[in-house]
Amino acid sequence: MRLKTIAASLVAITLATGSALCAAQAKTEITVARFFGACDADYGKAVDASKARGECGIITTLINEFNATNKDGIVVKPQIAEWGPYYDQLSARIVAKDVPTITVMHESVLGDYVARKLVEPLDDSFKAVGIRTDQFSEQAQRGTQIGGKTYALPFDTWSWLWHINGNLMKKAGLTNADGSATLPQSPEELLAQARKFKAATGKAYLGWPTSDTAANFRNLVTLVAQQNGTLFAANGKQIDMHSKPARNALELMNTLYAEGLIKPNMDYGAANQAFINGDVGVHIVGTWTIGDFVDAADKADSPLKGGYSVVPFAKIYAKKAAFADGHSWVMLKGGAKDDKTRQAALTFMKFLWERDYEWARTGHLPANSTATAREDFKKLPFRSNILEISSIGVSVPSNVPRQRAIEAIVGEEMVNMLLTKKPIDAVQKSAEERVNKLLSTVR
């Protein structure tokens, strides 16, 4: 009898151990490299994305939610990086063959990675898991499809907006009969309204992070496009900083800054804080801040209380246009080590695609047209104001390589123009020479 008991116990232990091993073996781990910040203190254990707020909160919770609910034993391990050095770190990881399974990537840099044959085309894979590329928004198609192939899953379209303090606009006498802000429609009107605003409120009309290279470059692209101009040759191999539209844009920004109509010396964080504190009338920054500014405006003592609104970049020149880009998810070659991992990655990408509405609550426009059509999306604050971005958004063409480096060079020269009074002629010359030298080295 005793021997039977011992034997039964051994069998039970063996079965339990075997079950545990099978369970462990059944797990498929994938890694997801991303920026968007770290917020584990607030969202580390959250599993309901519908209750999360902001970029970091929503993406963190989406991953938690997937890990908690998927029935396929897939475990997503986020690999969070700082935004600034993100692409340098990614290049280093590719060289070291430490490639993440899935990687977030701006659509503006996707062309570089495709040209270097580092990204997998995904049309057949998307079709196999039920991701329909015909549901990509028009802007998302332009951003993720190169040479007739789809290289990324679009996550959103983001753009450059005017965030407005209507309370200060009212004080300056710059409101319409319906209470909306009176917006300029020419360079002359912009300067006149900005001067009137400053005289009435004692504050700068505009705020944008003038010490930030990206912000300056995006403003330049926007203002040039509004004049039906372009910064780049059709083949993407040269920049023209001496065109009339480029000169007009630089002169306008220089005048605004020199007259104190832009709040000076602000980086990204300081510019956001200045708007929340009621120090400027218009803050030029992206779609992703809408949720945060709505939250700020809800506070009883907020200078934005009852007065916050947001519109696309105002039409200063001949046509509506605003810089636009998008976040997307790619599978770099070498990231998925086997078919099981690859299938797990596609399963997670489909999950993100089907939850695009939750991501759009950040303020970004959905890349999935089914999310845009949802009634709850249409009811989100100010979305009807900015939907036209899908038609007026303008990006640097995908055949222009090294866009991040170009943004840094041109933006740096513009920072010098604004903050150190470098002459516009010198800015045009040095920006053009530096960028064209860079482009001449790209094979």
Dump pLDDT digits (tens) for 271-325: 999 999 999 999 999 998 898 899 999 999 999 999 999 999 999 999 999 999 9
Closest of 37, 65, 144, 205 to residue 367, by C-alpha: 144
User: What radius of gyration, in Å, describes the C-alpha atoms of the chain?
Assistant: 25
What CA–CA distance (Å, rounded) separates 76 from 102? Answer: 10
pTM of this prediction?
0.84
CB atoms within 10 A of CB 5: 9
Q: What angle do CA 289, 292, 295 make, to 5 degrees?
A: 145
pLDDT exceeds cutoff 80 at 11: no
pLDDT at 4: 52
pLDDT exceeds cutoff 80 at 440: yes
pLDDT at 3: 47
Tell me the mean pLDDT in the region 132-151.
93
Dump pLDDT digits (tens) for 78-128: 999 988 889 999 999 999 999 999 999 999 999 999 999 999 999 999 999
pLDDT exceeds cutoff 60 at 12: no
Instruction: Please report which confidence band the pLDDT of residue 15 belongs to, taking 50, 70 and 90 as the band edges.
Output: very low
Tell me the mean pLDDT in the region 258-279.
96
pLDDT at 1: 44
Compute the mean pLDDT over every residue in the chain, rounded to the nearest whole number: 92
> Quick one: three-class SS letters along the chain?
CHHHHHHHHHHHHHHHHHHHHHHHHHCEEEEEEECCCCCHHHHCCCCCHHHCCHHHHHHHHHHHHHHHHCCCCEEEEEEECCCCCHHHHHHHHHHCCCCCCEEEEEHHHHHHHHHCCCECCCHHHHHHHCCCHHHECHHHHHHHEECCEECCEECEEEEEEEEEEHHHHHHCCCECCCCCECCCCCHHHHHHHHHHHHHHHCCEEEECCCCCHHHHHHHHHHHHHCCCCCCECCCCCCECCCCHHHHHHHHHHHHHHHCCCECCCCCHHHHHHHHHCCCEEEEEEEHHHHHHHHHHHCCCCCCCCCCEEEEECCCCCCCCCEEEECEEEECECCCCCCHHHHHHHHHHHHHHHHCHHHHHCCCCEECEHHHHCCHHHHCCCCHHHHCCHHHHEECCCCCCCCHHHHHHHHHHHHHHHHHCCCCHHHHHHHHHHHHHHHHHCCC
